[in-house]
Each structure stands twice: as C-alpha cells, then as structure tokens.
Amino acid sequence: MTKVLLADDDFTMVALLKTLLGMEGYQVATLLDKKGDILTNIRIEKPDVLLIDIFLGNRNGLDVVRQIRETPDLKDLKIVMVSGIDKTPECLAAGANAFLLKPYMPEELFDLLR
C-alpha cells in the first residue's frame, strides 16, 4: 500500500485529501498537527510520496523540497508539489517530481501517485 504524507496548512484540504486518498486505498499521514521539523516527520512516517503545498504558513515548500534533495537519506523521496498559483518551473527546479495546480481533479492526483 502506498503511503502519502500530506504537508499543507489548509485544514479543509487536508481533511478532503485524507478522505479521498483513503477511499482509494492509500495510507495517509499528515503534518497538519505535528510539531517540529518536516524532515524529522518524513523520517518518522516513511512515506512513499510527499504531497506538499508551496505555501505552508511560516514555511516555504520550495525550501523544504530543496532541503530534502540535499539530504542523503531522503533525496529519493517522490515529491508532488501543489499550489493555487502555477509555479511548475520553480517546483521542478527545486527538485519536485511533479506539480499540480489547484484545484485539480482527483484522477490527476492519482496518476501522479502511481
């Protein structure tokens, strides 16, 4: 079973994605209520895919992705970035495997998670 870690500061989006992905058979973990470093939480959760928003309140998702790519034990993690603003070139340059523009259809997300 594929495990997806959701990193988004929008409670409604996290709840919706958690339900949707769960219905499709994905194991889902979230960072919404967790304290501390995202990299530490990635190591604890051991996801197959990180679904991360660019804007995370006090954190920049692009910086997080760059940090992941520079970290030897995490550098191969599959990362899908999302935003309501088309930042495809910036996300791919930072090291994301893919970018989704919000709002997106569930099938678009599922295709990228496979």
For the chain, the helix, strand and coil percentages under 3-state DSSP, each to the nearest 5: 40, 25, 35
Between 9 and 33, the more confident residue is 9
Q: Report the CATH number of the 21-104 domain.
A: 3.40.50.2300
Non-local (6+) Cβ contacts of 54 within 8 A are 60, 61, 62, 81, 82, 83, 85, 87, 91
Estimate the crossing angle of helix 61-69 against helix 38-45, to 10 degrees.
60
Mean pLDDT of the chain: 93
Give domain limits for the chain: 21-104
Average pLDDT over residues 24-39: 82
pTM, full prediction: 0.94
Distances (CA, A) of 79 to 28, 72, 111: 14, 15, 13
> Residue 52 is encoded by which pair of tokens?
């991360």
Q: Give the model's confidence band at 36: pLDDT under 50 very low, under 70 low, under 90 confident, else very high.
A: low
* Model pLDDT, residue 59: 85
| Residue 80, H or E segment | strand 78-83
Check whether 102 has a pLDDT greater than 60. yes
Q: Report pLDDT digits (tens) over 1-20.
A: 999 999 998 889 999 999 99
Check whether 33 has a pLDDT greater than 60. no
